[in-house]
A and B are shown apart, each in its own frame.
Chain A
Amino acid sequence: MAGPAPAQTPRATPTPSPVPAPGGAAVRGSRSQPEVMTGAQAIIRTLEQLGVDTVFGLPGGTILPTYDPLLDSEQINHVLVRHEQGAGHAATGYAAATGRVGVCMATSGPGATNLVTPIADAHMDSVPLLAITGQQSSKLLGTDAFQEADIVGMTMPVTKHSFLVTNAQDIPQVIRSAHHIASTGRPGPVLVDVTKDAQQAELEFRWDDELDLPGYRPVNRPHAKQIREAAVLMAEAERPVFYVGGGVIRSGAHKELLALAEATNIPVTTTLMARGAFPDSHPQHLGMPGMHGTVPAVAAIQKSDLLIAIGSRFDDRVTGELESFAPGARVIHADIDPAEIGKNRIADVPIVGDAAEVLDALLTELRTNHSAALAAERPSWWGLVNGWKQSFPLGFEKNDDGLCDPQYVIQRISALTGPEGVYAAGVGQHQMWAAQFVEYERPKAWLNSGGLGTMGYSVPAAMGAKVGEPDRQVWAIDGDGCFQMTNQELATCVINKIPIKVAIINNSSLGMVRQWQTLFYDGRYSHSDLNTGHESVRVPDFVKLAEAYGCEGIRVTRNEEVDEAVQRALDINDRPVVIDFVVPADAMVWPMVAAGVSNDHIQYARDIRPDFSGESEEGEEA
């Protein structure tokens, strides 16, 4: 299977890896006496020196050399997954919950291709991910050798960067560079593909070489002139609103956001990726904008005269029809990625920089040169906004089938678990309900696949989050469709004692598909019934499935039973818990702006459209 063994050279005695200083800042192995080791040992040593404590992965032929020294590492906890996709999402869940780089490892060929989805997912949601894959020996590259796949080529459009390593001596430098690129600037996935012969060959391990990345210079500090111009717009605005994106969470800028928002008394909206960047309980918070956003958030953006976009990217799920998005607003757009600015909406004041630094600089500038504006109470604007908040709070209509209401289930999970919990969702209706009805008070509490929309994200991401944050209660709020894509990782959770809680919002169908079929396809339910729920054959039976894995399995069919089941799940911490919440298939996510339609046409509930006419200070055409 592998190429010929490398020429025998005197082997250095493998020495146990020393425990590195936290953060990997220590410089070991002086230039005078570099330690000789194999490429595989160098991979493990480099990860240790970078402070990596967890690797999610699954071994196979071409990564076997690296799995050997991994067995001896005292620092690195390797979590053996059941499918490489699970390793990838676990690593991104770990990264999103902790803010540290998530690391996953797989073999060549199918092992590597199974990582493509989580890599693409991390790329869309700017998650720092280091993916290490084995590759066939360099002499066999390009020959269609067994389990050979050009994973560098395949992932080129969905990685921040990637490396193919064929020379053992390059390993420490490349892995350090990959880790650096993944975690700085706009975070993202970096792939390192290492040929088997490079893992087996020997090198002199050096740690103190300079990183050689002449083309990589992320800009963190915003330009002073842009900050001054932005502050002027903020001081002049009568109807400003913050449009906060996931960049605020990745940057750790929630404190700076709170300070600036409170100082300016400007309302705040948080996108799907930014839930938790600003406390839900804060009176200035209007909730989530976009397709399933709150009426106050959507309306405030539509009627605003200044949009202060921080680490957000004017995604189509937020803007709806772009031409009619916030039509009267000037735009301040701050992002660490210059390519995001002006991509969808022209910015009046573009600011390139790290969200925390931008927010901090804006507050300083406003305090120094616009202190009068800071005191502005904006009574007419807040009057409008508070009117929307009062008239159109988030809510739902209870079902009359006697089943659980999905929104109620999620409200109760949130209430009983509290804001210190972590909530990872899959993709679809349950994801939107989890974004709407969990109360987020802190960043990194909400994990989801926002950009790519990856069904199956939830269980492995929750697993990764629980490994990274073992003292927190971690929920996977999943759908019956999503759950069936990645539930094999329950085995990983049981074996490795990772006691996540899984709440399956089981409507026996691909719920969001069904909702669109109800609304836009005359109720023709083409291939969206999954037969897992109420009055179906229940294939699979999720309670039995949970029990087969060694998890606690609970079925809840009525609202009255929800609290007891959730509490029981919270009390069990020696194994995962799976709760099958049986909900009606007809429950829908509201509010909603149909795809490609103007946000002005938001529906609060089916066929109920808020009437904004006469409310705008500019007046609105009918």
Chain B
Amino acid sequence: MSRHTLSVLVEDKPGVLTRFTGLIARRGFNIHSLAVGTTELEGLSRITVVVDVEDTPLEQVTKQLNKLINVIKIVELEPETSVRRAHMIFKVRADAAVRVQVQAVVEMFDARIVDVAVDAVSVEATGEQDKVDALHRVLEPFGIKEIVQSGTLAIGRGSKSMTDRAGR
């Protein structure tokens, strides 16, 4: 299995995400991550989906996704020509004894503490998946109480835009 990132421009209508993910599930592919939000164009949303799938079935499922009436455009974003970012928040055990150490790690990774309790802190990190995963490993020994993460966000490098010519 190889990992692929698809960026998908869709109409912002109820049920679109269900149609999209339903088709992927029907083929038996697992969605590794998913991020959805509105775009600079009114009425259009953008789905960034990371799937584990071989090249040939990926081409097939992309064609099928393209057939969905609400899908405007699909592009695969290659690692070399795109920027990808992961976004995670960790709730880490941190009483007075270790809080300074946690704080030092957070600074080293360019992350931020976004909430503090008596015995825990919440750490927000963004960056390439590798960097966020590394932070995860370093925070682990302190005791992680909770993790939440968004799907990968990805955008093509350079001045071209996926929504060029996608306006109505």
Contact = CB atoms under 8 A, between A and B. Distances in A.
Do chains A and B stick together as partners? yes
A157 B15 contact: no
Contacts of B67: 337-339
Nearest to A152: B15
B72 interface: yes
A574 B121 CA distance: 84
Contacts of A342: 59-60
A215 B68 contact: yes
Nearest to A218: B67
Interface stretch (B18-26, B81-89, B92-100, B126-134): B18-26
Interface string A94-119: 00000000000000000000000000
B26 to A, nearest CB: 6
B69 A213 contact: yes
A214 interface: yes
Contacts of A156: 15, 18-19, 22
A343 interface: yes
A456 B101 CA distance: 73
B33 interface: no
Interface residues of B, number: 22
Interface in B1-35: 10-11, 14-15, 18-19, 22-23, 26
A82 interface: no
A164 B15 contact: yes
Given A213-B69, A214-B168, A215-B68, A339 B63 contact: yes
B64 interface: yes
Contacts of A216: 69
B66 interface: yes
Contacts of A343: 60
A339 B60 contact: yes
Contact of B71 (A215, A337, A338): A215
Contacts of A164: 14-15
Contacts of B19: 156
A343 B67 CA distance: 14
Contacts, number: 42
A337 B60 CA distance: 12
Contacts of B66: 338-339
B35 to A, nearest CB: 20
Contacts of A338: 63, 66-67
B103 interface: no
A28 interface: no
B66 to A, nearest CB: 7
Contacts of B59: 342
Contacts of A339: 60, 63-64, 66-67
A214 B11 contact: yes
Contact of B11 (A157, A160, A215, A337): A215
Contact of A215 (B15, B18, B22, B72): B72
A601 interface: no
Interface in A188-227: 212-216
Q: From B64, B69, B166, name the one whose CB has the most chain A CB atoms within 10 angstroms.
A: B69
A210 to B, nearest CB: 10
A185 to B, nearest CB: 9
A153 interface: yes
A166 to B, nearest CB: 9
A156, A181, A214: which has the most chain B beta carbons within 10 Å?
A214
A161 B69 contact: yes
Interface in A201-255: 212-216
Nearest to B59: A342
Interface in A149-172: 152-153, 156-157, 160-161, 164
A216 B67 CA distance: 8
B26 A157 contact: yes
A337 B63 CA distance: 9
A214 B72 contact: yes
Contacts of B168: 212, 214
Contact of A181 (B11, B22, B69): B69
Interface in B37-71: 59-60, 63-64, 66-71
Nearest to B70: A215
User: Which of A152, A153, A164, A215 is most buried by chain B, counting CB atoms within 10 A of its CB?
Assistant: A215
Contacts of A153: 15, 18
Nearest to A346: B56
A135 to B, nearest CB: 14
26 contacts: A153-B18, A156-B18, A156-B19, A156-B22, A157-B22, A157-B23, A157-B26, A160-B69, A161-B68, A212-B168, A213-B69, A214-B72, A214-B166, A215-B68, A215-B69, A215-B71, A215-B72, A216-B69, A338-B63, A338-B66, A338-B67, A339-B60, A339-B64, A339-B67, A342-B59, A343-B60
Given A156-B18, A213-B69, 16 more contacts: A152-B15, A153-B15, A153-B18, A156-B19, A156-B22, A157-B23, A161-B68, A164-B14, A212-B168, A214-B72, A215-B10, A215-B11, A215-B69, A215-B71, A337-B67, A339-B66
The 4 closest A-B pairs by CB, nearest first: A339-B63, A161-B69, A215-B72, A339-B64
Interface of B: 10-11, 14-15, 18-19, 22-23, 26, 59-60, 63-64, 66-72, 166, 168
